[in-house]
Structure 1
Amino acid sequence: MSVTDKAEYESGYDFVVVANRLAVNRVTNEDGTTGWQRSPGGLVTALAPIMATSEGAWVGWHGAPDETLEPFDHEGMHLHPVPLSDEELENYYEGFSNGTLWPLYHDVIARPLFHRHWWDAYRKVNQRFAEAAAKVAARGATVWVQDYQLQLVPQMLRDLREDVKIGFFNHIPFPPPGLFAQLPWRHSVMKGLLGADLIGFQRESDARNFQRAVRYRLGHYIKADQVYVPLDSETAAPLEGFTADPARGTAPRQLSSPESGTFRLSEAKAFPISIDTDRIVELSNDPKIIARAAQIRAELGNPETIFLGVDRLDYTKGIRHRLKAYEELLQEGKLEVGKHTMVQIASPSREGVESYQVLRDEIELTVGRINGEYDTMGHTAVRYLHHSYPVEEMVALYLAADVMLVTALRDGMNLVAKEYVAARKSGTGVLVLSEFTGAADQLRQALLINPHDIDELKAAMVQATALDPEDEKKRMRSLRRQVVSHNVKRWAEDFLARLDQL
């Protein structure tokens, strides 16, 4: 299909977002009827105003398997549902996306599985998303593809629509070349991503990892974040027979250079994502939420220090590590139930995946053991809550907590850390932050730790309980300046401005 074949492209949409999920969730009204509600996530918050002013469309799955819906409009956005079968969700989403790519891209904390039928489903679904985007995009439109579930879409879309400008943003880390090399379909994934004019990553290290993988495996010339993608298909062929050693810095001979043929440029660089800071600040000033924060402290027995962890229940988040550190501090008498307590929010995640079921069982057993050993009649050592909560309750928790524990073993960004900082308008509060989160690149005044080093994590937790008040406020003021000035709206504007320049 070519752009010249479709006259209706002239009446399409100038800005198209392609994501695994639509920007709305289905809800049941009080009268029993069903409707749609805008998703509360930061991505939707950032892009909805842009879509409203630029005739935007959002392409994504609507959340129900084996159901086909017609396109519809909601709050200024044109929504184009992509149908997925129950089998496709099992193989494309739970399988290849979260059983192969997620663990591989998170430093193989869990073992990735490589099943060919998962890959076949991933490729098939990506093609369907690309065709849906090609159908709704106007001539010369900007199309922004989101995240690791759709890495093949940029090149598939380019094959369908040479006239559109394509951006891609990866919301999770991109692994070092040595890990990425394990993926049997590595060349197809790299070529899929290189179909975009601009490929965004959370951290500079992620962009460098991608560039190195492209150089080692495809032999493309790279200069100043720009990849020279050969238009000659023979030159662009993957080097299946070449084995590179990234640790030694070896690479295949350069198959492409600016002087040796015709190229299309694809730029790969970091655009650190952020949060809807204004919304968090507004909620933190709400008297009802401030009162709820005081109520939470009272319900916990008004301890001197509340440690807070807020995570999806995922093996990358380091929940087990922080529980181990907390338990050892209780054993050693450096923390005391009554004076100190931990609240751990672990929202349900991928409950159909076996590794997540095992993790849930392990964490719940650990919490039970700690509470059985250290609870008193009046106080609980760990208040563990396996629920999802609305943003209002989350902000109340941020206001109630004295110390935020973000101990991820690997994280693209970790927006919870930024939400906690944004909520702490009083200038108090301590953020203990893993150096393996993308947020650590910006939030340098946090207490940075290596979560694999339990002793270091324990020392930071004790330090957080006794930090000099002036040092605490100085750190938090610096953190808030960074978060408030770099919100999710600025992230989206920076990415799209750069895409428009290319």
Structure 2
Amino acid sequence: MSGTAEVVVVANRLPVDISVDSKGKMSWDRAPGGLVTALAPVMRSRHGAWVGWSGKPDLDVEPFDGDGMHLVPVTLSGEDVKDYYEGFSNGTLWPLYHDVIVDPEFHRAWWNSYDKVNRRFAKAAAEAAAEGATVWIHDYQLQLVPALLRKLRPDVTIGWFNHIPFPPVEIFSQLPWRERVLQGLLGADVIGFQRSWDSENFLRSVKRLTGDKVRGTTVHVQARPKVPTRQVKVGVYPISIDTAAFDELSRTEKVAKRSRQIRAELGNPDVLLLGVDRLDYTKGIRHRLKIMGELLRDHRVKAPEVCLVQVASPSRERVEQYKTLRDEVEVTVGRINGDYAALGRSPVHYLHQTFPVEEMAALYRAADVMLVTSLRDGMNLVAKEFIAAQVDLDGVLVLSEFTGAADDLPQALVMNPHDIEGAKRIVMQAIDMPNDEKRRRMRALRRKVAKEDVAAWADRFFADLAKVKESNND
């Protein structure tokens, strides 16, 4: 059975949050998140279908049209959420793929749930896709779907893109189900990563852990004896944002007025440092606070002339490591403010909240220095949003070298967040940077993100999928 969509995106989450009232009436709102921000404009322009979970356990909703797309909800039970999502996806794969910053857990029950839910996603994608459709599968939660879908629908062209890092083979090999994951991914025709490190790590894992041949960036998959090999292209596709839309929003008088108001509410500091992250142990928030605390201790900055606004949006609050991280961050913020605040003016303003996009644009415009201190990050779209909001060209971007964005944005100041002394020097360089250098660097960064926006990213990936489809039809 095939559907009608010529292009299908498969992701863990739908691009909308669904609600059902007491009378059974359904409503939805646009969902937050980097993947939705990146892909929604692309899918609207292509009139595609999006397969994903609603975000609420045990919510069974029929497919519907919304936000310019055909939306196909996949139902997850409370047990699925616990074992597939919070368990295997975020308790096993997330820490494993982020260089084991915290220890991953390996539980067979979690793996069994992951396998079961991936089969459910593959079935939903198979039913949504038209004959000969293109299906683009996203991220680490759905690594088994490419091969499962290929068995169900050998007529479709399949892409898979990893939004997070892919670990070195020495780390990936710890996964008890490593061969199954690689076999799942090699069901795709095109496999994409954020940076060359990740694609190289994947290819080394294929070489060492499978019997498939790797030549350059192509994997030759032997489906079974006496059957011709199938070629899988492995490429690097750095993701981006809808730069024009973010630039346009940031230029509005409403955002400009709010950015001035933010600075006034903070006491019009000479320098406003900004951090924006999900509250996640990979983001280096504790390192950022340590840098700020030591700069205050060393009298290189002081309140209220210099302050840090740290937005840490709630994330995976039922997972124990995230509860612990929140406690540690809030204790550290309290200690810094207790030691270094001026009367009525704190050096660190901590906001454990999620804000609408207009408020984020205003914060970006208000900031003098953006601090991205991730310990490991696939890309980090916050860095690109900050650049798009810098319509006055007067901000400085400081980037961890462990982000994909560090490869993509060479005019940023790059630092190692583990090297606290070195990071402090980079932050002071950003604070003291002459205006003409700020403008020169930011102008180049804005040209880069304007040219290589989310549409260009998607076009590159779809173009490579189209080449595969064409070669398969020859």
**TM-score normalised per structure 1:** 0.90
- Please state if 1:128 is matched with 2:107: no
What is the match of residue 133 of structure 2? 141
Superposed counterparts of 1:400-479, under 5 Å? 400-479=366-445
RMSD, aligned α-carbons: 1.7
Q: Secondary structure in 1 aligned to 2:311? A: strand
Aligned-partner Cα distance in 1 for 2:87–2:381: 25
- Please state if 1:167 is matched with 2:176: no
Paired residues of 1:25 and 1:37 also in contact (CA < 8 A): yes
Superposed counterparts of 1:1-400, under 5 Å? 6=1, 9=2, 12-26=4-18, 34-39=26-31, 41=33, 43-44=35-36, 47-48=39-40, 50-52=42-44, 54-232=46-224, 262-400=228-366
Paired residues of 2:393 and 2:443 also in contact (CA < 8 A): yes
Q: Which runs of 4+ in 1 moved over 2 A?
A: 26-29, 31-34, 37-55
Residue type at the aligned position of 1:93: Y
Paired residues of 1:301 and 1:378 also in contact (CA < 8 A): no
Aligned-partner Cα distance in 2 for 1:495–1:50: 12
Aligned-partner Cα distance in 1 for 2:101–2:152: 37
Paired residues of 1:176 and 1:209 also in contact (CA < 8 A): yes
- Identify if the C-alpha distance between structure 1 residues 66 and 32 changes in structure 2 by more than 3 Å, giving closer, same or farther: closer
How far 1:397 sits from its partner (Å)? 0.3
Aligned-partner Cα distance in 2 for 1:111–1:43: 26
Paired residues of 2:42 and 2:455 also in contact (CA < 8 A): no
Paired residues of 1:43 and 1:488 also in contact (CA < 8 A): no
- Identify if the C-alpha distance between structure 1 residues 147 and 335 changes in structure 2 by more than 3 Å, giving closer, same or farther: same
Paired residues of 2:42 and 2:458 also in contact (CA < 8 A): no
Residue type at the aligned position of 1:427: L
Aligned-partner Cα distance in 1 for 2:325–2:36: 30
- Identify if the C-alpha distance between structure 1 residues 14 and 446 changes in structure 2 by more than 3 Å, giving closer, same or farther: same
Q: 1:436-485 CA distances to partner (integer Å, 9 max, x unpaired)? A: 00000011111100000000111111111111211111111111111111
Superposed counterparts of 1:478-493, under 5 Å? 478-493=444-459
Q: Secondary structure in 1 aligned to 2:214? A: strand
Which moves more between the two structures, 407-416 or 221-230? 221-230
How far 1:52 sits from its partner (Å)? 4.5
Residue type at the aligned position of 2:417: P
Paired residues of 1:196 and 1:266 also in contact (CA < 8 A): yes
Aligned-partner Cα distance in 1 for 2:16–2:149: 24
Q: Secondary structure in 2 aligned to 1:316? A: helix
- Identify if the C-alpha distance between structure 1 residues 418 and 499 changes in structure 2 by more than 3 Å, giving closer, same or farther: same
Residue type at the aligned position of 2:344: G
How far 1:48 sits from its partner (Å)? 4.2
Paired residues of 1:42 and 1:488 also in contact (CA < 8 A): no
Residue type at the aligned position of 1:339: E
Q: 1:232-264 CA distances to partner (integer Å, 9 max, x unpaired)? A: 16xxxxxxxxxxxxxxxxxxxxxxxxxx96200
Aligned-partner Cα distance in 2 for 1:48–1:429: 28
Residue type at the aligned position of 1:316: T
Unaligned runs of 5+ in 2: 469-474
Residue type at the aligned position of 1:459: R
**TM-score normalised per structure 2:** 0.95
Aligned-partner Cα distance in 2 for 1:49–1:313: 26
How far 1:47 sits from its partner (Å)? 4.1
Q: Secondary structure in 1 aligned to 2:282? A: coil
Paired residues of 2:34 and 2:381 also in contact (CA < 8 A): no
Q: Secondary structure in 2 aligned to 1:452? A: coil
Aligned-partner Cα distance in 2 for 1:325–1:75: 42
How far 1:187 sits from its partner (Å)? 0.3
Aligned-partner Cα distance in 1 for 2:203–2:20: 46
Which moves more between the two structures, 401-410 or 373-382? 373-382
Q: Secondary structure in 2 aligned to 1:89? A: helix
Residue type at the aligned position of 1:326: M
Q: Secondary structure in 2 aligned to 1:172? A: coil
Q: Secondary structure in 2 aligned to 1:262? A: coil
Q: 1:188-214 CA distances to partner (integer Å, 9 max, x unpaired)? A: 000000000001100011011100100
How far 1:67 sits from its partner (Å)? 2.1
Aligned-partner Cα distance in 1 for 2:87–2:320: 11
Which moves more between the two structures, 180-189 or 74-83? 74-83
Q: 1:408-450 CA distances to partner (integer Å, 9 max, x unpaired)? A: 0000000000111111111111111000000000111111000
What is the match of residue 248 of structure 1? none
